């Protein structure tokens, strides 16, 4: 089940962008938004405000990637993608190639195309690109809602 909704900012001075148009696309994203909004060490943050053009390896066409979260801290600037851990690894090849497996492969290839360009984009600016999974969020003390 997918959860989607509007996030209401408690500290609008910290949000870089339009704080009235923040959409979360999962409960994990909503929890990260709360974390960003309420953590002192996060000076500025935004969600899907940065656009990174990338060439997808599945169709060799240019697309636009909107990373989930942008964060400025005293230790640096980060672009964050929030994904389940299983989506950060190539799918295991089954004995027969099902439609589901092919879709998982295509999604993984598309995601890696985005992430490679995000790495380059961040490197050019002295930022860091990170993928936060449920494991990362738990280590940070962010309560996961399911």
Q: Kindly name the residue from 68, 72, 81, 114 that is annotated as catalytic.
A: 68
User: Known catalytic residue: 85?
Assistant: no
Strand residue runs (E) in the chain:
5-6, 23-24, 44-46, 52-55, 62-65, 69-73, 76-82, 128-132
User: Known catalytic residue: 49?
Assistant: no
User: Known catalytic residue: 41?
Assistant: no
Q: Kindly name the residue from 16, 44, 83, 110 that is annotated as catalytic.
A: 83
Q: Kindly name the residue from 29, 48, 72, 81 that is annotated as catalytic.
A: 29
Per DSSP bridges, beta strands 5-6 and 23-24 are antiparallel
What amino acid positions are annotated as catalytic residues?
29, 68, 83
């Amino acid at each position: 089940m997918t959860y989607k909704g509007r996030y209401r900012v408690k500290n609008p001075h910290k949000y870089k962008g339009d704080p009235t148009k923040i959409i979360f696309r999962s409960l994990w994203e909503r929890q990260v938004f709360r974390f960003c909004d309420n953590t002192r060490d996060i000076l500025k943050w935004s969600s899907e405000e940065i656009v990174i053009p990338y060439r997808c390896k599945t169709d060799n066409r240019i697309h636009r990637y909107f990373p989930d979260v942008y964060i400025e801290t005293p230790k640096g600037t980060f672009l964050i993608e929030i994904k389940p851990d299983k989506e950060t690894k190539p799918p295991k090849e089954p004995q027969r190639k099902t439609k589901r497996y092919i879709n998982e492969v295509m999604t993984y290839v598309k995601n890696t195309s985005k992430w490679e360009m995000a790495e380059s984009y961040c490197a050019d600016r002295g930022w860091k690109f990170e993928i936060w999974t449920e494991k990362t969020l738990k280590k940070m003390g962010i309560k996961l809602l399911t």
